Structure formats: structure tokens, C-alpha cells
Structure 1
Amino acid sequence: MSGLLSAMEGFCVIGIVIATGYVAARMRIGGPSAQMVLNRFSFFVSSPCLMFAILSKQPLGDIFHPSLLVAFLSAAGVGVVFLLLNSVFFHMKAPDATIGALNSLYLNSNNIGLPVATYILGNPALVAPILVMQQALFTPIGLTVLDVTTKGKVSVKEIAKQPLHQPLLIGSLGGIAISAISARVGYFVVPDFLYDPIDMIGDSAVPMILMAFGMSLRGTKPLQEKGDRPAIFTVAVLKNIVMPIIAFLISYFLMGFRGAELYGCVVLAALPTGQNVYNYAARYNVGLTFARDGILMSTMTSPVFIALIAFLLS
């Protein structure tokens, strides 16, 4: 029970940082461009540093744990379900549908996943496979689709160059490479005078993203776009209910996980949508309201379902 309470405290921390961004926007601190600046700096500088700092010190066995398959299949499953539902019911255009799919499958593995993995599961390294999967696979695919659909043309050359445009992927792959080299030589190969500033800059990523998200709430009321409400509620159901169920079925019947491994896969699948999705929506200026409301809804409901999973499986 104490671990569950500690995780709920983690959600409280996130809410306070988001509220700080909202208050800063209300007081016009930073001017009208503050939200854009925070989003861009986090996207291009802070978040890549964060991914490098985390993954470079993770053992490769933790990064490529078998639970990676569970995370991939459950996330891909709900993403496909949303796209199918969109084609039948919502009829969103491709960029907005892409944001909806990311809203359904993208896990908040940093600022909520780390405390949940630490305080409920007792092992923060459990989020490492999710970090790799999202940054090395889902993020490049999603941003490639956004890149192509917002420009109105399909270019093989542009798609081939897309990984070079993804700072998060570059930071993640750099961290994995350093982890592999360090394991081979037997010591961490990056000297402290280089690693420490990267780590320090990376520490600013999560608060920047959260405060930019809070700033976006100023002057707006959630769920005011009536046409988006069915899709937003669908995203929350897929993220917080369907995805953990899929993770349980895959973990139990396909992977044969039991005990702590099964529990960990299901809890992590119930994490809310990551604020990164709003960051991506802002980067391409598509689906901003949809992304914001979907994140807010899943973040509000996620603690309830994580508590239920803890009650049933812990």
C-alpha cells in the first residue's frame, strides 16, 4: 500500500508542475511565445539529452528485456484499433488521426513511468524497453507520417532522411551505443565533465514539457470541441483499459510471465499518454486541442486503473 501511495504522490507532482505552467501563462511570464519556446527547446535539446543520459547507463539486458515485445504488441494493437475506429466513425484527416493513434499508444514512461516503476514495481529500469521502443520506433514512424501528411506529398527521400530530423531518436541511439561500448570495455566511457552537463540539460526536459502543457490550458476549457469528444473518450478507454488488458493477455498466454513480470507489464501498459504527444502536435501545428484533451483525460483516469491493477495483481 505504501508503494501505491508513493506512486499517487508522483501524479500529484506532475499536476503541480502543469499547474505552474498554467499560472505562468496567466501571469504572462515569458510573453506570448513562452509556450512555443519551451516546446521547441525541449524537442531539440533537452529531451535528446535526457534519453542519452538515461540509456547510456542502462545495461543492454535491461534495455532489450523480453517485456519489450509485450509493450510493442499492446501499443501497436491499440494504435491500429484507433485507426480502424477513425475510418468507421470519426473520419479525421491523416495528421489528426496520427495524433489520435499516438494518444492511444504512447506511454508517459518518463515523468510518471519512472516513479511508478520505482515505487510500485521496485525497479526503475523496467521503463527502459518502453523508452527505446517509443523513441526508436513509434516516434519516428509517427513524425514521418506527420511530416508527409502536413506537407501534402510523399517523398521517399524525405522518409529516408526522417531519422536525421529526430533529435530524440539520435539521443536514444547514442545512449544505446555508449551502453554497448561501456559493457564491452568494462567501464563507463563518457567522462564526467561531458556526461554531467548532458545529464543536467536532460533534467530540464520533463518540467519544460509539463509547463508548456500547462500553458496550453490557459484560456481554454477541456472537451469544449464537441466533435472531438467521442474520439477523446475513445483514446482514454483504449489507453487506460484496453491496452492493459492486451498486455495482460500477451504477458500471460504468449510470454508465460507470472508474478512480478506479469504485474510490471500490465501496470506500465496503464500509464497515461505522454506529454510528448502534445509536443509533437505543437511541432506540426495539428490536432493541438485533441492532443491536449486526450492527454489530460488519460492522465486523470490513469491513477484509478493503476490502483485497480495493483489491487488485483500485486
Structure 2
Amino acid sequence: MQGFCVIGIIIAIGYIAARCRVGGPTAQMVLNRFSYFVSTPCLMFALLSKEHLSDVFKPSIVVAILCAVITGAIFLALNAAFFRLKLADATIGVLISMFMNANNIGLPIATYILGDPAAVTPIVLIQGILFTPVALTMLDLSTKDTISVKAIVSQPLHQPILIGVLIGIATSAISDAAGWFVVPSYIYDPINIVGGSSVPLILMAFGMSLRNSKPFGEGADYVATITAALLKNAVMPIVAFLLAYFLMGFRGADLYACVVLAALPTAQNVYNYASRYEVGMRLARDGILVSTLSSPLFIFVIAWLLG
């Protein structure tokens, strides 16, 4: 509850700032772009550069990858059969159904419920290295008139978040080999401080987006939005339980951690990506809101059943 309270307060601050016209009409766009190009890459580097690779590549990472892929595939199948969203909007729908809020909600939950803050590290890694580059590539290509092999191959070079992740992993590997952290504190500390602004900037930008826009307003796709949110909060934990229990043979705390983390709400980063490419913004905003509001209920049920 503390984690969700923190989220709600920061979102409310962004909403109030927009109501008071703090920053002018472009404030939301500025916060989104600064977070995307500067803060979040710094955050990814700060997190991963000091994380031992042996602590990142845990067996639970298999469950995190598979349950997210399966849930996203279910949304794609439903979209092909019923929703008929365009490629860019469908990509946002997939992200709503599979992208976990591992930082600003996952970390408090891992700390207060699981007792292990490092439990979210595999999620941060796979979303930064695997899911985010694929999603951003699809968004980038779907918003351009022409698609070329050169554009696909060069796409990772245009993704600052992925660059931050890869530099962080490389730094971690070098530090492990050297036996000491190779980045001087006077370089790491400012990067870490700037990275610390990523989450509040994203949350406040999300709060600003709620100004003068009611959830499920005109033009909203109710069915697709609610379906994506339920896939994230209800279906993904079930898939995670089946995979962890039967495929990986997890029991006790390991099983509990996989299922609880799978019930995390959709990350606010999804709205950041939608705003960056100006596609599916209403779908992202409403989906995140529904997922964030309903996620505590599912987590409480899981804690009651498995805790």
C-alpha cells in the first residue's frame, strides 16, 4: 500500500501542476522527452552497472520472459480476431498486457511483500534488453512511410534506453572481472542522481495527461483497454504460476515471488512510449489507469493464497 500511495501522490502532483498551468502547455511533452532521452537511460545504467550478472540471470528470468510473451501473444490473437487495432495501437495494447511496473511499484512490493528488493532485477533486465527494443522498433517502423532493412538494423542505435542498459551490463561485467567498480564516484554519482528523476518525471507527465481528459472518453476502445489490463493483472499471474510450478519446479518463496511480480500493474513507461510516437495515447493512459487501480486487489488475493 505504501508503494501504491507513493505512485498516486506523484501522479496527483503532476495533475495539480497541469491544473495550475505550471510549466505551460508543453510541460508534459518536455517531461516525457527528457525522461525518454536522458533520465531513463541514466537510471538503467545506474541500476545495472552495480548489479552482479550472477544475480541478474536467475532461473526466474525464464518465467518472467515466457509469461510476458504468452500474455502479449494472447492480446495479439484477440486483436486479430476482434479488436482490429492498427499495428502501432496494437503494439501499445501488447505492452499494456505484458509490461510490468518493476521500478516504482515493483521495488516497494519486492521490498515490503517479498523481502527481496533484487527480485525485480530480472524484470528490469528483460524489459530493457528484450521487450523495449522490440516494441520501440515496431512503433518506429509503424509510424514511418517506408520500412527498410537498414532502418531495422540501425534501430538499436536510436534507442537511448537500450544504450543505457547495454553500457550498464558491460560495466558490470568489466567490474566483476576487475574485482572492483571501475566507474569513479564523481562520474557515477551525477548519472545516478539524474537517473533518479526518471520515475517521478514519467509519473508527473502521466498525471498531467489526465488534465481535461476523462478516462474512457470519446473514442476510447473500452473492450480492448479492459482486456489488456485484465490480461496483465489476472491472466499473467496465472500463466506465471503454471510455468513456475510445473515447468521450473519452483515452490515456496520462489513460486510466490514469480506470481506476485507477474501481478504488477502496467508500467507508466508504456504511456511514455505512446506519447513519444504519438500513437495509442488514450489506450495507454486508460489501460495504465485500470491496471494500476485493480492491481492491488489481485496482489492481495495472491498474497492470501500463496503468502
TM-score (norm 1): 0.96
The answer to whether the aligner puts 1:19 opposite 2:12 as a matched pair is yes
Aligned ranges 1:1-314 → 2 under 5 Å: 8-225=1-218, 227-314=220-307
Q: Amino acid of the residue matched to residue 43 of structure 1?
A: Y
Q: Amino acid of the residue matched to residue 244 of structure 1?
A: P
Q: Amino acid of the residue matched to residue 298 of structure 1?
A: S
Gaps of 5+ in 1: 1-7
> Identity of counterpart residues, as a percentage?
65
Find the aligned partners of 2:224 and 2:28 in 1 and give their Cα distance. Answer: 25
Find the aligned partners of 1:18 and 1:141 in 2 and give their Cα distance. Answer: 28
Find the aligned partners of 2:15 and 2:203 in 1 and give their Cα distance. Answer: 10
Find the aligned partners of 2:218 and 2:120 in 1 and give their Cα distance. Answer: 34
Larger CA deviation: 269-278 vs 224-233? 224-233
Deviation at 1:236, TM superposition (A): 1.4
RMSD of aligned C-alpha atoms? 0.8
Secondary structure, in 3 states, of the residue corresponding to 1:120? helix
Q: Amino acid of the residue matched to residue 200 of structure 2?
A: P
Contact 2:137 2:155 in 1 (8 A): yes
Find the aligned partners of 2:84 and 2:117 in 1 and give their Cα distance. Answer: 39
Secondary structure, in 3 states, of the residue corresponding to 2:217? coil
Deviation at 1:155, TM superposition (A): 1.1
Contact 1:62 1:126 in 2 (8 A): no
Q: Amino acid of the residue matched to residue 134 of structure 1?
A: Q
Secondary structure, in 3 states, of the residue corresponding to 1:16? helix
Gaps of 5+ in 2: none
Deviation at 1:96, TM superposition (A): 0.3
Q: Amino acid of the residue matched to residue 247 of structure 1?
A: A
Structure 1 residues 228-269: Cα deviation after superposition (integer angstroms, max 9, x where no partner): 100111011100000000000000000011111100000100
Find the aligned partners of 1:241 and 1:11 in 2 and give their Cα distance. Answer: 18
Structure 1 residues 211-237: Cα deviation after superposition (integer angstroms, max 9, x where no partner): 000000000100124651001110111
TM-score (norm 2): 0.99
Deviation at 1:186, TM superposition (A): 1.0
Q: Amino acid of the residue matched to residue 306 of structure 2?
A: L
Off by >4 Å, runs of 4+ in structure 1: none
Contact 2:15 2:211 in 1 (8 A): yes
Structure 1 residues 190-222: Cα deviation after superposition (integer angstroms, max 9, x where no partner): 110000000000000000000000000000100
The number of aligned residues is 307
Contact 2:2 2:108 in 1 (8 A): no
Find the aligned partners of 1:222 and 1:20 in 2 and give their Cα distance. Answer: 18
